[in-house]
Amino acid sequence: MELKVKLFADGADKNGMLEMYDNPLISGFTTNPTLMKVAGVVDYKLFAQDILSHINDKPISFEVFSDNFDEMEKQALDIASWGSNVNVKIPITNTNSESSVNLINNISGKGVSVNVTAMMTLDQVKTVLPGLSNGPGGYVSVFAGRIADAGLDPLPIMSEVVEILQNYPNIELIWASPRELYNVVQADSIGCHIITATNNILKKLPTLGKELTQFSLETVKMFYDDAIQAGYSI
């Protein structure tokens, strides 16, 4: 299946990131502090600069982690200086639900490519577009997977963002937090610019378009082979 949506790998495991870097289907990378914690990253800056010594020609996002906007700006400017391919992830609010819009306006105006993250509503997206568009541009990351986790269909909001962004050529929509490979098909079908997914989802890409009878047979064989290898008997 030929896809128009760009695929970004989401993770913070060095080996996994480098594996995806060698995959010609992968156009960029995203990370976040939670993924880094899970991967056992101890030194944030050292890890990032090590990764950038290998991945320096595809976009990659690193996130600020302060809850204070002045400190966030300092972190953002530092992170942006690490490489020309670096985008700085800014959450749409801090933990007190205070908007990050002024910060986004400030750093975008200073030439920082911003990836606004953790958004789930259309109103949130609309608030950041003026500031992003007046700078070098960047990304709006809408967490479609978490919208679905709330029992809501993410397609209407994602489709509307795609429509709105036709007027903002320097801003791209990232379909964030996908839960299954079919989300890649959904993102592609609505003209979403990018979907970022973990390696375990991206490794399923070869199954796209597979003939279902053959897929069924392969599944039967998997069950059989695993039972034999386990030495089960009744």
Write the CB contacts of 8 (distance below 8 Å, at least 6 apart in sequence): 26, 27, 28, 29, 30, 59, 174, 194, 195, 196, 197
Q: pTM of the predicted model, to two decimals?
A: 0.96
User: What does the CA dihedral 205, 207, 210, 215 come to, rounded to 10 degrees?
Assistant: -170
CATH dotted code for 6-206: 3.20.20.70
Instruction: Supply the pLDDT for residue 99.
Output: 98
Kindly state the tokens that stand for 4: 């128009």
Instruction: Supply the pLDDT for residue 171.
Output: 98
Backbone angles phi, psi at 47, to 5 degrees: -60, -50
pLDDT by residue for the chain (234 residues), tens digit each? 789 999 999 999 999 999 999 999 999 999 999 999 999 999 999 999 999 999 999 999 999 999 999 999 999 999 999 999 999 999 999 999 999 999 999 999 999 999 999 999 999 999 999 999 999 999 999 999 999 999 999 999 999 999 999 999 999 999 999 999 999 999 999 999 999 999 999 999 999 999 999 999 999 999 999 999 999 999
Instruction: Supply the pLDDT for residue 1.
Output: 78
**CA angle, 31 as apex, 72 and 164 as ends, to 5°?**
80
Spell out the domain ranges in the chain.
Answer: 6-206
Instruction: Supply the pLDDT for residue 145.
Output: 98
Instruction: Supply the pLDDT for residue 20.
Output: 98
